[in-house]
Amino acid sequence: MTAARSRALYLDYAASTPVDPAVAQCVNDALVSEEGVANPASAHPAGRAAAARIEAARETLATAIGADAREIIWTSGATEADNLAVLGGARMQRARGRGHRVVTVATEHDAVLAACERLAREGFAVTRLLPDSDGYLAPDALAEVLGDDVALVSVMSINNETGVIQDGPALGELAHASGALMHVDAAQGMAEWPERLADRPVDLVSLSAHKWYGPPGVGALWRRLEPRARLEPVIIGGGQETGLRAGTPALHQIVGMAEAFRLGSQRRAVDQAHIARLRERLEQGLAGIGGLVRNGRRDGSARILNVSVAGVHGDALRTALGGELTVSAGSACSSREGVPSHVLQAMGRPEALAAAALRISLGRELSEVQIDAAVAAMVRVIAQLRGPSPAWRHMQAGASVAELYGMADEPVLVA
Amino acid sequence: MADREGGWWSRLSHVGGPVDASGYRVAEIGGLSDGLWVVAWVHVDDEVIADARFEVYGALEALAIADWLAARIIGHARQAACRINARDALDALGLPAEAGGDALRIEDALRLALSCDAIGGRYEH
């Protein structure tokens, strides 16, 4: 399998991973199978067979993540799962007299932040915490704002732009101690989350297939049954998924997601070790460039490296690199709009520095040779663009990144 | 500009500051927070532009415009250089109209460096 979809080297695995060939085969088989034709809600034998395939996939996914199959709700992706968790969880909590405030972090995915904005329009109070400048949310910062009025806390496991890993166990314990539901967007997290979900202090976890070598267009929300995390459905008009998500389930995608998670969980340790080696090589290669601001933490996800290239205009950087490397400015869901990342701005990066960010995300089929090629391309292009830049001249004359960009503190560089 | 991703920006002759700045007039506009930062360097000998260079922090289109502008004025009289219209670069380079703002600001930097207002050479846009 090759991840390159064009002549440019694909380094955007946090946006989407290529579908594993075994998964693609699974999807295709399901599409052309007799069950694939039928509606799983139908009472005839073909419909019942389709429903059985979906239930088998539910068991497979549950086993892969360490959960009970009854805890899986199929969705169209992590965005829908986030919406269902945040909207459905908070609304049900309020209906049961268990709070009218939601707490989240300004660096969350828009799927969570937009859901929180919707709740605010419905009369909920919304607390958006700012992380530290490295993107980390100190548990104490959450503890300070929790109270018995909090219905739900939503904090992602691994940030999709920066790779920052939050202290999920500590945050979850705090949320539970205040009586709130704990939601985790784990769209990026499952590849690095070996524990059983049920063993974590979480109630709702959003999952995505296409972030882990599954097909796009399918995801799931895990919701704890004991004690039960109650939800109000967001998509209505059918009794599917125990009444929590109406709509005919896409059997072929569901089967594909289950297979992707089964394969992924089997090879998680091997893949993680390989990617960690690639990441180390990448960082070593980039360290000599100088002036690369680390947007994240050294102990974050090995799969995601986010750096801002000081002294270079963001648009020029991405255009110049675009022919050789497929990388993102930030979240694929928002970077097309050309707006600097809300995540980086929440971390205190000035707009010009946030706009010059590159998210490099790694996948399991990449080789060391490809990483070396990526490093060589970045070294060359950044040097070409810095050559005529007055900003870079100032840095070479001794100006610090903080001085140049008007920051209070010097940011951490990749070195 | 069809070759947006082909590395042409590394072959521009007139971007980057001069190796030896002595004798150059210099003017600067913009900054990092503006999304465009231009430093115009011009060497004028006996009212003729002997050299022109631009330092540019901006999009690749801005680099192309600056390079085009410098190439057009070298060897010409200062007064003639003051009448150049940087927006002509858009047509010449096949750039979108959105690059027009950058073109005007690059032209402004050049006019400052040439002290165009002092010689009444303002181009009417």
Are the CB atoms for A212 and A75 separated by under 8 Å? no
Q: Which of residues 18-37 of B touch A (CB under 8 A)?
A: 28, 32-33, 35-37
From B47's Cα to the closest Cα of chain A, the distance in A is 26
Per-residue pLDDT band for A7 (boundaries 50, 70, 90) equals confident
Length of chain B: 125
Q: Quick check: A357 and A330 in contact, CB under 8 A?
A: yes
* Active site annotation includes A333: yes
Residue of B nearest to A324 (CA): B5
The rounded distance, in Å, linking the Cα atoms of A382 and A388 is 11
Q: Using CB atoms within 10 A of its CB, is residue B26 exposed (0-12), middle (13-18) or buried (19+)?
A: middle
Instruction: Note whether A393 contacts B: Cβ–Cβ < 8 A.
Output: yes
What is each CA distance from B6 to A11, A185, A289, A381, in whole angstroms? Answer: 19, 39, 22, 11
- Rounded to an integer, what distance in angstroms lies between the CA atom of residue A120 and that of residue A250? 32
Complex ipTM value: 0.91
The pLDDT of residue A240 is above 80:
yes
Distances (CA, A) of A216 to A75, A79, A81, A156, A359: 11, 12, 14, 20, 20
Confirm if A47 and A40 have CB atoms less than 8 A apart.
yes
Compute the distance between CA of residue A159 and CA of residue A14 in angstroms, rounded to an integer.
Answer: 10
When CB atoms are compared, the residue of B33, B36, B38 closest to A351 is B33
The Cα A126–Cα A347 span in angstroms is 19
How many angstroms away from the CA of A313 is the closest CA of chain B?
A: 5
- The SS3 call for residue A245 is coil
Q: What is the SS3 assignment for A6? A: coil
Residue A77 has pLDDT above 70, yes or no: yes
Q: pTM score, two decimals?
A: 0.93
B16 to chain A nearest CA, in Å?
Answer: 4
Q: B31 has which bridge partners?
A: B36
pLDDT > 90 in chain A, percent? 89
* pLDDT tens sequence across B50-79: 999 999 999 999 999 999 999 999 999 999
- Summarize the confidence of residues A71-92 as an average pLDDT: 98
* A332 Cα to chain B: minimum distance (Å): 20
In chain B, residues with a C-beta closer than 8 Å to the C-beta of A322 are 5
The type of residue at A242 is T
Backbone angles phi, psi at A366, to 5 degrees: -70, 150
Q: What is the pLDDT of residues A257-280, one digit of tens each?
A: 999 999 999 999 999 999 999 999
Spell out which residues of chain A touch residue B8, defining contact as CB-CB under 8 Å: none
Radius of gyration of the CA atoms of chain A, in A: 22
User: Which residues does chain A have within 8 Å of residue B57's beta carbon, measured at their own beta carbons?
Assistant: 311-313, 389-391
Question: Cβ of A397: how many Cβ atoms within 10 Å?
Answer: 7
B120 in contact with A at a CB cutoff of 8 Å?
no
Task: Give the SS3 label for residue A357.
Answer: strand
A123 near B CB under 8 A: no
Please judge whether B60 and A323 are an interchain contact, meaning their C-beta atoms are less than 8 angstroms apart. no
Report DSSP letters for chain B, one per residue.
-TTTTTTGGGG-SSBS--SS-TT-EEEEEEEGGGTEEEEEEEEEETTEEEEEEEEEES-HHHHHHHHHHHHHHTTSBHHHHTT--TTHHHHHHT--GGGHHHHHHHHHHHHHHHTHHHHT-----
- Whether A340 has its CB under 8 Å from any CB of chain B: the answer is no
The active-site residue out of A333, A339, A377, A413 is A333
Average pLDDT, chain B: 90
Q: For A146, phi and psi rounded to 5 degrees? A: -80, 150
Tens digits of residue pLDDT in A94-135: 999 999 999 999 999 999 999 999 999 999 999 999 999 999
